[in-house]
Chain A
Amino acid sequence: DAKTTQPTSMDCAEGRAANLPCNHSTISGNEYVYWYRQIHSQGPQYIIHGLKNNETNEMASLIITEDRKSSTLILPHATLRDTAVYYCIVRVGLAGGFKTIFGAGTRLFVKA
């Protein structure tokens, strides 16, 4: 089972910031939080990841709470092309590495 919970769907106005929350209350101290998104009819695309500190790249910012039990992905100026399903993921450890378990994600609708 996925180790994260996210809202099923969210709306955002074009040009405004989209803030997507994620709860991961059982996360361990050395586990990273990853975000992917999936635009319709395409494979998922990596966005960003973080451990403790806030992270920013050209696509988004990731804010992780101090207790690491939740995080927020921020798209600073959402465009219509950001309409997609966003997945928050905490990987599960395996003997040979890690396993990625996707939940149902949050369906973000960016509206003009």
Chain B
Amino acid sequence: EAGVAQSPRYKIIEKRQSVAFWCNPISGHATLYWYQQILGQGPKLLIQFQNNGVVDDSQLPKDRFSAERLKGVDSTLKIQPAKLEDSAVYLCASSTGTTYVEQFFGPGTRLTVL
């Protein structure tokens, strides 16, 4: 079974530039999550989708971050414009549902903002 795919794996940009990350969840998984993990901290949930609807985006900085999950399958997370403090690993995860216990994580995208 293929796992959660993410691209790119690494990205370096300058502050005020824009960047986009892509995630393809495990086939059939209705729930998709985007997390931000700053060095030395646990992952922080940014947004959670159930199919193509948003379940929770309370910690998403909506002035600069946006995410979409068209057709309820793959998803993109965008930052525009980026700040230095956005440097982090962005993890995508999926599960069969919000009540299901196990989330499967992708390898993450490491973003460096200079």
Contacts of A103 in B (CB 8 A): 42
Interface residues of B in 20-69 (CB under 8 A from A): 31, 33, 35, 40-45, 48, 50, 53, 55-56
Q: Is the CB of A43 within 8 A of B41?
A: no
Q: Is B72 an interface residue (CB 8 A)?
A: no
Q: Chain A contact residues (Cβ within 8 angstroms of B): what range? A: 20 to 34
Query: A43-B93, A46-B103, A49-B101 known; A100 and B55 CB under 8 Å?
Result: no
Q: Is the CB of A94 within 8 A of B55?
A: yes
Contacts of A13 in B (CB 8 A): none
Interface-central residue, A32, A42, A97, by most chain B CB under 10 Å: A97
Q: Is the CB of A99 within 8 A of B105?
A: no
Q: Is the CB of B103 within 8 A of A99?
A: no
Q: Is the CB of B103 within 8 A of A97?
A: no
Contacts of B48 in A (CB 8 A): 94, 97, 99
Interface residues of B (CB under 8 A from A): 4, 31, 33, 35, 40-45, 48, 50, 53, 55-56, 91, 93, 97-99, 101-108
* List of 7 A-B pairs having minimum Cβ-Cβ separation, nearest first: A97-B98, A43-B105, A102-B42, A96-B55, A46-B102, A102-B43, A49-B101
Interface residues of A (CB under 8 A from B): 2, 32, 34, 36, 42-46, 49, 85, 87, 94-105
Pairs across A and B, CB under 8 Å, 26 listed: A42-B107, A43-B105, A43-B108, A45-B105, A46-B101, A46-B104, A49-B101, A87-B42, A94-B48, A94-B56, A94-B98, A95-B55, A96-B55, A96-B56, A96-B98, A97-B31, A97-B48, A97-B55, A98-B99, A99-B45, A99-B55, A100-B45, A102-B42, A102-B44, A104-B41, A105-B42
